[in-house]
Amino acid sequence: MPEHEAGGSLATPAHEVRDFLRRRREQIAQRWADEPLFRTVFTASRDEAVEAGKAVVDALARVADAQQVEDPDAAGFSAVREQLARMGAARSRAGLSNTQVSSELAALWPPAENLLVAESDQASPEELRAWSTTLSVLLGTLRLVAMQTALSETQSLIDRQRLQLLEVATPVIKLWDGIVAVPLIGTLDSARSQVVMETLLNAVVDQHARFAILDITGVPTVDSLVAQHLMKTVAAARLMGAECVVSGIRPAIAQTMVHLGLDLGTVKTRASLADALGHCLHELGTNIVNAAPDGAGRR
Amino acid sequence: MSEGLSRPAAGHVPVLGLGDVLLVTLQGDLYDSTAHRLQQDLAEAIARSRVTGVVIDISGVEIVDSFLGRVLAEIAAQAELLAARTVVAGMRPAVAVTLVELGLTLPGLRTALTTEAAMELLARPVVPPRSGGGREGGP
């Protein structure tokens, strides 16, 4: 009975805490509703905040019942995960960092602790300490769950945005009959170069392009990996019967590439997009000439 | 004179003679044995009919493996030895990506977007000068 070590190993403290949570559900929820975390999120009415608090207390009681006070993956938490995410998101929108939200969650402990101490005045100090520790661990786990939820929300946001970036950043432009160009902007990683390759090859088929220009003016740095991606794209386009020209290699990048010993080998390169277009037009047998000086253009 | 239409057995790829060019159209899945046989048939057909060009249309091929990639390269090489230029036409984007990922960039192979473009390419007198992208000496 006199157990000072908290945790799920012994049935008593966790079940005591569960009983306490169930008994005092109403009071705890009432007090939590006054805490900034609940008060600022559920602004519509106090009842709403109290209801939300009750939901959290119920979840905690279920977790304590299952003897899983230290387990953030406990089944009991799944019911409040969405609510915690919403609360976390609301606090983040208000400009709070994750750390601040976490300390607001920590502020839920003292009210519950006070209630626990107040109601168990006949309990022995050892028992009280064990229950208190268990409650503390339980709330710590709740904090962890909230943080986990917030982090996974952030991660999914990043994933979504990365996907959007892939879609946005790779337009294929038709410059002339039979000539398409892709202006590459930003760092080329393998995922992006894959998308670039696919969209370029599809454009080659759709537009019946004999020439494809890869313009790397917007690529900040070229290392061996980027060069390899470029070579792959060029090779794939060549296999389909289109000729690739790489343009927009800035002087600094040209220097770097030579220093690194990168060999673009058989790839045709031109300094600017205009040069590349001129080259392709020449190969297509199309010539652009200035209007005759005595023509209609000027007089 | 059309070639190889004697017996359209299963796994046999017809080789059509069009003037100075032999046209081969590959369709669907290609078994290794079929590809191997095509390689032999083509070598014989080139030697017999003394054509100057071979067009292999692979627009109907959705899956290639490293073996077929190698066979294509070998066909091109052997045709070159027999003084015929080989053009692979109509490769699908997915196929091109696969070959590149397999490391088979097939450097010596001529390619064209469509069969029509391939015929145009072969109609041109000699191999167009393929400059290696502004290769000069030092500064």
Residue extents of the structural domains in chain A: 11-164, 173-284
Distance (Å, rounded) from C-alpha A212 to C-alpha A270?
13
Q: Closest-CA residue in chain B for A271?
A: B134
Q: Which distant-in-sequence residues (6+ apart) come within 8 Å of A153 by Cβ?
A: A85, A88, A89
Model pLDDT for residues B77-124, shown as the tens digit of each residue:
988 888 888 999 999 998 999 888 888 888 878 899 999 889 988 888
Using DSSP's 3-state secondary structure scheme, residue B111 falls into strand
Q: What is the pLDDT of residue B3?
A: 45
In chain A, the N- to C-terminal Cα span, in Å, equals 108
Q: Mutate which of B56, B111, B119, B120 to test chain A, going by most A C-beta atoms within 10 A?
A: B111
Chain A residue numbers with beta carbons less than 8 Å from the beta carbon of B132 are 265-266
Give pLDDT, residue A169.
65
Contact A223, A260 (CB under 8 A): yes
Write out chain A's pLDDT in tens, 299 residues. 444 444 444 446 888 888 888 888 888 888 888 888 788 777 778 888 888 888 888 888 888 888 888 888 888 888 888 888 888 778 888 888 878 888 888 888 888 888 888 887 777 888 888 888 888 888 888 888 888 888 888 898 899 988 887 776 678 899 999 899 999 888 777 778 888 888 899 999 999 999 999 998 888 888 888 888 888 889 999 999 999 999 998 888 888 888 888 877 778 888 889 999 999 999 888 888 888 776 555 54
pLDDT at A295: 58
Q: Which of A289, A221, B47 is nearest to B15 (CA)?
A: B47
> Rounded distance, CA A118 to CA A297, Å?
96
Q: How far apart are CA A175 and CA A177, in angstroms?
A: 7
Two structure tokens written together for B115: 């069969």
**Chain A partners within 8 Å of B99 (Cβ):** 236, 239
- Is B134–A204 a contact, with Cβ atoms under 8 angstroms apart? no
| CATH 1.20.1640 is right for the domain spanning A11-164 | no
Write the residue in B101, B112, B133 that is nearest to A269 by C-beta. B133
For residue A235, give the nearest of A271, A276, A264 by alpha carbon: A264
List of residues 6+ apart from A289 with CB closer than 8 A: none
What is the per-residue DSSP string for A177-244?
A: TTEEEEEEES---HHHHHHHHHHHHHHHHHHT-SEEEEEEEE-----HHHHHHHHHHHHHHHHTT-EE
The count of residues in chain A is 299
Cross-chain Cβ contact A201/B111 below 8 Å: no
What are the backbone dihedrals phi and psi of residue B81, each rounded to the nearest 5 degrees, phi first? -65, -30
> What is the least distance, in Å, from the CA of B89 to any CA of chain A?
7
Residue B11 is predicted with a pLDDT of 67
- Written as one letter, the residue type at A29 is A
Contact B134 A268 (CB under 8 A): yes
CB contact under 8 A, A239 and B117: no
Q: Cβ contact (<8 Å) for B105 and A264? A: no
pLDDT confidence of residue A296: 55
A236: which chain B residues are within 8 Å (Cβ-Cβ)? 93, 96-97, 99-100
Residues of B in contact with A242 (CB under 8 A): 113
Tokens 């740095």 -> residue? A221
Task: Name the residue with higher pLDDT: A167 or B24.
Answer: B24
Q: Return the residue of B nearest to A265 by Cα.
A: B132
- Whether B51 and B20 have beta carbons less than 8 Å apart is answered as yes
What ipTM did this prediction achieve? 0.71
Contact B94, B62 (CB under 8 A): yes
Q: Residue A241: which of B101, B105, B111 has the nearest Cβ?
A: B111
Q: For the domain bounded by A173-284, which CATH number is listed?
A: 3.30.750.24
Residue B10's pLDDT band (boundaries 50, 70, 90)?
A: low
What's the gap in Å between the CA of B104 and the closest CA on chain A? 9
CA atoms within a 13 Å half-sphere pointing along the CA-CB vector of A281: 12
3-state DSSP call for residue B26? strand
The residues near A92 (Cβ < 8 Å, ≥ 6 apart) are A98, A101, A150
DSSP summary character for residue B86: E
Chain B residues whose CB is inside 8 A of the A265 CB are 132
pLDDT of residue A49: 83
**A236, A237, A240, A243 alpha-carbon torsion, rounded to 10°:** -140
C-alpha to C-alpha distance for A274 and A276, rounded to whole angstroms: 5
From start to end of A73-209, where are the E strands?
Answer: 173-176, 179-185
State what percent of residues in chain B have pLDDT above 70.
Answer: 81
Residue B130 buriedness (CB in 10 A; 0-12 / 13-18 / 19+): exposed
Q: Which of A179, A190, A240 to mutate to test the interface with B (most CBs of B within 10 A)?
A: A240
Record: contact B88-A236, CB cut-off 8 A: no
Contacts with B90 from chain A: Cβ below 8 Å:
241
Domain boundaries, chain B: 17-122
Eight-class DSSP state of A76: G
Q: What mean pLDDT comes out for the span B125-130?
A: 55
| Helix, strand, coil distribution of chain B in percent, nearest 5 | 35, 20, 40
Number of A to B CB contacts under 8 A, please give it. Answer: 68
> What does the alpha-carbon distance between residue A216 and residue A231 come to, in Å, rounded to a whole number?
13
Q: Say if the Cβ atoms of B133 and A266 lie within 8 Å.
A: yes
Check CB contact under 8 Å for A232 and B111: no
Q: How far is CA B118 from CA A240, B43, B112, in A?
A: 11, 19, 5
Answer yes or no: do B113 and A241 touch at CB < 8 A.
yes
Burial of A121 (0-12, 13-18, 19+ CB in 10 A): exposed
- Chain B CB contacts of A201 below 8 Å: 93, 96-97
Hey, are the CB atoms on B93 and A209 less than 8 Å from each other? no
Q: What is the SS3 assignment for B22?
A: strand
Contact B115, B90 (CB under 8 A): yes
Q: Is CATH 3.30.70.100 correct for B17-122?
A: no
Q: What is the mean pLDDT of chain B?
A: 80
The residues in A 92-151 lying below 8 A from B, measured between CB atoms, are none
